[in-house]
Chains A and B, each alone.
Chain A
């Protein structure tokens, strides 16, 4: 196949899909399409087998990122006189800087407070009279609960808009956030492989997320056949970057399940196609407190420890507003000691090793062998008890 074989949008489907694996096998810089001299910024997310996935930005890419993020903030009603409290994490994670660049491009005022430090978040929110809060939806709920316990009425805060993403959430959770804070809460979508946050966002209609298709060409495919599904039906979102220079992707398989609607938006008049909320995943990736977690990451930790076998199960629960991950590990005769302290020391070591790979805290529980359900020859690795 030659570049000139692509004559129309329909020809796109002759190209193979790319995915996270493509980045992983080309770690660290194999997918960079420009000389390093032109790369201005590098981001990375935790990988599935210890190696992170690395993405890069040229100066032009940063401008595109700033623009789509600025559009996203504008689409939900943010303007240049807003004060944006950006509680997404700054660093290798794209959430923090993506919102930051967008705020600058919009001409708003950004408070780069980053994630965590709830009391300080509340203090500065009051002192600076911030008007837009950007964070994961679960953190928005959590922060309201902290406010209440500190005797602060979140409904009386200066906030008017919440922009929330990086993890799946529901209409119920939106209502909860809007009710607790007396704000409008909007869903934003993005992934670092495509650009970071700002790939798609809801408009004031809160009825699907407009995907900025002038930069990110969307397709929705049947995950089994790889063929496009009819409009409005569920399938896997595949994105081709049209303007990205440093790490462009042809037909990147997001593994996110959505449906798509085209045509003019009845709420805002935009003509950018709308995707639904993320309805699920085609793989086993979990999003816990905004962090992507693959069971294979935990498996590789257990495999690297001599004492354990990779028989494990992940149980995800939501306690209050925050997700909690329990890793259940089967005890086998290789490491079973009849002393409690030896087993407790092992539990602690497994916990520390997993936490250093995942960057989130987990609970480790030792369980009897073969108590972990094995279904259809393939172990059921994940039990997600969150109601979202």
Chain B
């Protein structure tokens, strides 16, 4: 139920994100989801890709500082309140979210939320109990 996410440390300067996506494009790696967190000096690019091993390899060889992490991919209904419902499940269990980002799913009326919490096992358990659909890694990579 856990999805591999790659985080890349990048300096805040013009064209840097373009360079990273260029490296991935050359290696034939397709992005499934992306988020960018930034401060005035640096940013952290978080990506989920179709070929995680290959992406890790190529980014490392290109000299980037990267980190692999696991995240939860939860399917929510694409309607007002869809996100609220799963956040309520996590909040009721006393789980706080470190970061999250979302994208629209392949199916109509569906969106996918990528969620990172400290207590991953616990979060997966309460979400499954609440009948939330969690995607497996392979499901996202091949989406």
Contacts and interface: CB of A to CB of B under 8 A. Distances in A.
Say if A and B assemble together. yes
Interface stretch (B62-70, B77-85, B120-128): B62-70
B65 A340 contact: no
Interface string B1-27: 000010101110000000000000000
A337 B65 CA distance: 10
Interface stretch (A10-18, A186-194, A292-300, A367-375): A367-375
B41 A365 contact: yes
Nearest to B10: A368
B99 interface: yes
A338 B39 contact: no
A376 interface: no
B126 to A, nearest CB: 22
Contacts of B98: 339
Contacts of A366: 9, 41-42
A337 B116 CA distance: 13
Interface in B11-65: 11, 37, 39, 41-42, 44, 46, 63-65
Interface string A77-118: 000000000000000000000000000000000000000000
Contacts of B67: 333, 336-338
B39 A368 contact: no
A340 B38 CA distance: 8
B20 to A, nearest CB: 11
A369 B99 contact: no
A331 B99 contact: no
Contact of B65 (A331, A339, A344, A365): A331
A340 B39 contact: yes
A367 B11 contact: yes
A323 to B, nearest CB: 20
Given A333-B65, A369-B65, A339 B41 contact: no
A330 to B, nearest CB: 8
Interface of B: 5, 7, 9-11, 37, 39, 41-42, 44, 46, 63-67, 69, 98-99, 116
Given A338-B44, A339-B99, A367-B11, 16 more contacts: A331-B42, A336-B66, A337-B67, A338-B5, A338-B67, A340-B44, A343-B39, A344-B39, A365-B42, A366-B9, A366-B41, A368-B9, A368-B64, A368-B65, A370-B63, A371-B11
